[in-house]
Amino acid sequence: MPGGPGADGDGRRRRERDALAAAITVSASALGVCTPNPPVGAVVLDESGEVVGTGATEAPGGRHAEVVALDAAGDRARGGTIVVTLEPCDHHGRTGPCTGRIREAGLARVVYAVSDPNPVASGGAGTLRREGIGVVRADDDEVRAARSGPLRAWLHRQDHGRPLVTWKYAASLDGRVAAADGSSKWITGPVSRRHAHARRQEIDALVVGTGTLRADDPALTARTDDGRPAPRQPLRVVMGLSPVPADARVRGADDRFRHLATRDPAEALALLGDVSHVLVEGGPRLAGAFLAAGLVDEIDAYLAPLVLGAGLSAVSGAGVDTLAAAHGFEIRETTILGDDLHLRLTLTADTTPLTRGPR
């Protein structure tokens, strides 16, 4: 991050770099909560560089991350710095502009990672500079870290006009999601299942097809390690033309259930509205439909150290007839989960610039 020369400048850059890393981390608490707003994180440093406040975006209609952090800091923010993952907004939405709150707090400096090019909400950095507040953008590597963190799915929606789609499956080493007799519980172990339930809390909508509904009658809830419902729950979605029985567990007792009466993945995503991140957990045909439509952006693969030799494949009907037509993905993360291997993959050469819209 830019800063003054010498030891003092180096120390400030180090503190601001650490603060941005902390802001990215705290922003994860907004995942699954703040949609359609972006999951932003903010950290306030006092004049001496000590952390005096942190915050993340609240649910729609609530406070933005900057305001949460400044409320926590109180008078200690005066003369200090706020470090934020996204350029402070400069417009009136459900709440007032963050630029106004920053000015009122008496901050001397603002450091942000991702710029705001949207004409409705942009201009926060310029407004603050005109008011005499020092504003700098983070270094390129820090910007990349912010874009690839909790902001990623929201930014994907701004750029592509649709949610980020993750296909999740659990399979044997030879790609089977069920044995020849149809048994599938449990291919992967308890550590993988806990990891998958934590992932469910971070996304906006969880989608299965009517085939999975008939076979498994899934609840599609996110659960804690002790089996209780997690604090954050995704929208539970069944996609397909068959009706959903009145007593299906997926309906639940809340208003977090949707039936999308379509087999078209693009239409299904449009019907979901302004969600940012969709997790496809349906069976092989649903996965194949999303792949064939070019609508899988990343894959969460949980692989068990088993070979079944026969049984249901992880995907069918993906629109691939030759090796040259295969859908290409790059491995981004590998993690050992108990006896299993978790792979997170993204589309090959996914280098589209990420932008943001109003919040």
Which residue shows structure tokens 């208003």?
255
CA distance 332 to 172: 20
Q: Regarding beta strands 41-45 and 164-171, do their DSSP bridges make them parallel or antiparallel, or are they unpaired?
A: unpaired
CA distance 157 to 57: 17
Give catalytic status of residue 47 as yes or no: no
Question: Phi first, then psi: what are they for 330, rounded to 5°?
Answer: -115, 140
- Helix and strand totals (H; E) in the chain: 10, 15
Coil, strand or helix at 245:
coil
Q: What is the dihedral of CA 186, 189, 195, 197, to 10 degrees?
A: 30
CA distance 328 to 310: 25
Eight-state DSSP code of residue 106: T
Which segments within 163-243 are labelled E, that is strand?
164-171, 176-178, 205-209, 235-239
C-alpha torsion sign, points 114, 115, 117, 120 = positive
Element (H, E) at 266: helix 265-271
Element (H, E) at 278: strand 277-280
CA distance 186 to 133: 57
Residues with Cβ within 8 Å of 186's Cβ and at least 6 positions away in sequence, in order, are 193
Catalytic residue among 16, 58, 66, 281: 66
Q: Regarding beta strands 51-56 and 41-45, do their DSSP bridges make them parallel or antiparallel, or are they unpaired?
A: antiparallel
Contact 345, 330 (CB under 8 A): yes
CA distance 300 to 346: 9
CA distance 4 to 241: 62
Contact 32, 204 (CB under 8 A): yes
Q: Which residues are catalytic?
A: 66
